[in-house]
């Protein structure tokens, strides 16, 4: 709550300094907090049903609301990088978490099939990003069942998120080799990269406070020249840095690191913790090259999955105690 409260307070400070509009940030913080609280409650009472129902709900939203990825889009061979890919990724993670928590073999098989089916849906919808992220979460979840030290897996997920964010920053700064830069520009589109460079220019003008929440569209030349435009840089990291400065970016990174820390401390099985971590890391990768966090369903879904994975189930579930759990109990 301290991390989320600080994010909300800093948005208000940045908006007061430059006359920005903090409503979007405050709504996102509220959605995450509400989703997390609901996940903790539902995960404690229904450790299997809660993620299972969440997976079905996320899949239903992705199918029933295709307009979530319409409007001003930056399409490329990467496919849709908006809400649909994010919802499908979270749904796959929730289904895998439910499968690991389920005890009857028939129910567990059904939940695994739900996760595989969600991945297939991503392919049918033409969301290449969703397909890659869903398949990655599914494979990471299967591998998590054989891991005994969750700290190592969570550290790998943190490193993956840092590398993806660093790669986007390197592309925007044009510091990569020419051949690699040309290849990535073909995947990401030149327009998206120009938006990122506009964001970097705003960071240089006011690195501490940024331009103010909601003001990127007003100050970006690239966004002004593109019609229609959603007034966003299509990257959560660049938007946070441009509108709220490096402090806002640090708060965003701090929120993600706190989630990984909470997953390390959770009493849930290591397979559940690592699966949720993989899904949230995949979401972080999607938001590095898209505007998925602009949708309330995505932010609330991320909080819900994190809450379920960190809940303390009231119903006793037999599972093998991992090395990390044994060490924590001894300490």
DSSP string, 7-63: HHHHHHHHHHHHT--THHHHHHHHHHHHHHHHHHHHHHH-TTHHHHHHHHHHHHHHH
Higher per-residue confidence, 73 vs 62:
62
229: confidence class by pLDDT, cuts 50, 70, 90: low
Q: Does the pLDDT at position 331 exceed 70?
A: no
pLDDT value at 113 more than 50: yes
Place of tokens 């051949």: 179
Please count the other Cβ atoms lying within 10 Å of the Cβ belonging to residue 221.
Answer: 12
The residue behind tokens 């890391």 is 281
Q: Tell me how far CA of residue 267 lies from CA of 150, 257, 310, 313, in angstroms.
A: 12, 18, 7, 9
155 pLDDT band, cuts 50/70/90, is: very high
- For 268-311, write each residue's pLDDT tens digit: 999 999 999 999 999 999 999 988 998 999 999 999 999 999 99
* Residue 208 DSSP SS3: coil
Higher per-residue confidence, 15 vs 327: 15
Residue 318: pLDDT over 50: no
């Amino acid at each position: 709550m301290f991390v989320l409260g600080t994010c909300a307070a800093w948005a208000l400070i940045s908006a007061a300094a430059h006359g920005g509009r903090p409503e979007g940030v405050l709504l996102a913080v509220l959605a995450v907090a509400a989703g997390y609280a609901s996940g903790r409650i539902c995960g404690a009472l229904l450790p299997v049903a809660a993620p299972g129902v969440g997976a079905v709900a996320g899949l239903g939203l992705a199918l029933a609301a295709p307009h979530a990825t319409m409007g001003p889009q930056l399409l490329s061979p990467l496919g849709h990088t908006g809400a649909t890919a994010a919802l499908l990724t979270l749904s796959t993670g929730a289904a895998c978490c439910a499968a690991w928590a389920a005890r009857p073999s028939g129910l567990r098989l059904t939940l695994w099939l739900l996760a595989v089916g969600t991945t297939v849906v991503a392919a049918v919808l033409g969301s290449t990003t969703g397909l890659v992220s869903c398949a990655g979460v599914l494979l990471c979840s299967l591998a998590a069942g054989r891991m005994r030290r969750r700290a190592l897996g969570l550290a790998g997920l943190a490193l993956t998120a840092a590398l993806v964010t660093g790669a986007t920053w390197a592309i925007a700064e044009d510091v990569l080799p020419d051949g690699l830069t040309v290849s990535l520009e073909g995947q990401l589109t030149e327009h998206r990269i120009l938006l990122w460079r506009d964001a970097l220019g705003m960071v240089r003008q006011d690195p501490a406070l940024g331009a103010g929440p909601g003001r990127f569209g007003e100050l970006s030349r690239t966004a002004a020249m593109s019609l229609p435009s959603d007034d966003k840089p299509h990257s959560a990291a660049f938007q946070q840095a441009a509108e709220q400065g490096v402090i806002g970016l640090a708060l965003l990174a701090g929120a993600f690191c706190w989630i990984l820390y909470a997953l390390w401390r959770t009493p849930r099985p290591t397979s559940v913790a690592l699966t949720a971590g993989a899904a949230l890391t995949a979401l972080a990768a999607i938001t590095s090259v898209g505007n998925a966090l602009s949708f309330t369903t995505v932010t609330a879904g991320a909080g819900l999955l994190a809450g379920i994975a960190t809940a303390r189930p009231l119903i006793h579930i037999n599972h093998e105690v991992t090395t990390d759990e044994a060490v924590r109990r001894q300490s």
